[in-house]
Amino acid sequence: MFRFLVRRALGALVILLIISAVTFWLFYAIPRDPATMSCGKNCTPDMLEQIRKNLGIDHPVPVQYWDWLKGVFVGRDYAGFGHCDAPCFGYSFANREPVLGTILDRLPLTLSLAFGSAVVFLIFGIGTGMIAAVKQGKWQDKVASSASLVASSLQIYFVGYVAMYFLVAKLGILDNPSYTPLTENPAEWASGLLLPWLVLALIWTANYTRMTRSQLVETLSEDYVRTARAKGMSSRNVFFRFAWRGAMGPIVTIFGIDLATLIGGAMITEYTFSLQGVGRLAVDSVEKSDLPMLLGVTLLAAGAIVIFNIAVDAVYALIDPRIRLA
Partner 1 sequence: MTSTDQQPFLSVRDLKVHFSTEDGIVKAVDGLSFDIARGQTLGIVGESGSGKSVTNLTILGLHDPARTRIDGEILLDGQELLTASERTLEKLRGNKMSMIFQDALASLSPYHTIGTQIAEVYRKHTGASKKEARARAIEMLTRVGIPQPDVRVDDYPHQFSGGMRQRAMIAMALVCDPELLIADEPTTALDVTVQAQIMDLLKDLQQEFGTAIIFITHDLGVIADIADDVLVMYGGRCVERGTKKQVLGNPQHPYTLGLLNSMPALDGPVDVPLSPIPGSPPSLLNPPTGCRFHPRCAFAEKVAGGKCSSAQPVLEVIDGRGSACHLETSQRDALFADYAATAGHN
Partner 2 sequence: MSTTNPLLDVSGLTKHFPIKGGFPIKRTVGAVQAVDGLDFQVAEGESLGLVGESGCGKSTTGRLITRLMEPTGGTISYRGQNITHASRRQLAPIRSEIQMIFQDPYASLNPRQTVGKIIAGPMEINDINPAGGREARVRELLEIVGLNPEHFNRFPHEFSGGQRQRIGVARALALNPKLIVADEPVSALDVSIQAQVVNLLQEVQKELGIAFVFIAHDLAIVRHFSQRVAVMYLGKIVEIADRDDLYGNPRHPYTRALLSAVPEATVDENATARERIRLTGDVPSPINPPSGCRFRTRCWKATEKCATEAPPLVQISGNKPGHLTACHYPETADVIPAQRLSQDPESAA
- The binding site for partner 2 (CB under 8 A) comprises 3, 6-7, 10, 326
Say which residues have a Cβ less than 8 Å from residue 234's Cβ, sequence separation at least 6.
Answer: none
Among 95, 146, 155, 227, binds partner 1 (CB under 8 A): 227
Question: What's the Rg (C-alpha) of the chain?
Answer: 24
**Phi and psi torsions of 196, nearest 5°:** -55, -40
229 binds, among partner 1, partner 2, none (CB under 5 to 8 A by kind): partner 1
Tell me the Ramachandran region of residue 77: left when phi exceeds 0, alpha when psi lies from -120 to 50, beta otherwise: beta
Contact pattern for partner 1 over residues 183 through 222, marking x by CB under 8 A: ---------------------------------------x
**Which of the stretches 31-39, 123-131, 239-247, 278-286 binds partner 1 when contact is defined by CB under 8 A?**
239-247
Q: Judged by CB under 8 A, does residue 233 bind partner 1? A: yes
Angle between helices 2-29 and 291-319 (to 10 degrees): 150
Segment 130-169, which members bind partner 1 (CB under 8 A)? Answer: 136-138
**What is the C-alpha separation between 112 and 118, in angstroms, rounded?**
10
Min dist CB 123 to partner 1, Å, is 23
Q: Which does 3 bind (CB under 5 to 8 A by kind): partner 1, partner 2, none?
A: partner 2
Does position 326 bind partner 1 by CB under 8 A? Answer: no
Q: Which does 321 bind (CB under 5 to 8 A by kind): partner 2, partner 1, none?
A: partner 1
Of 29 and 326, which CB lies nearer to partner 2 in the complex structure?
326
Span 290-319, contacts to partner 1 by CB under 8 A:
319
Q: Does 322 bind partner 1 (CB under 8 A)?
A: yes
Exposed e or buried b per residue across 51-89, where buried means at least 16 C-beta atoms within 10 angstroms of its C-beta = bbebbbbbeeeeebbebbeebbeeebebeebeebeeebb
- Tell me phi and psi for residue 98, to 5 degrees: -65, 140
Residue 320 touches which of partner 2, partner 1, none (Cβ within 5-8 Å per kind)? partner 1
The CA-based angle 32-33-39, given to 5 degrees, is 135
Binds partner 1 (CB under 8 A): choice among 186, 226, 240, 274:
226
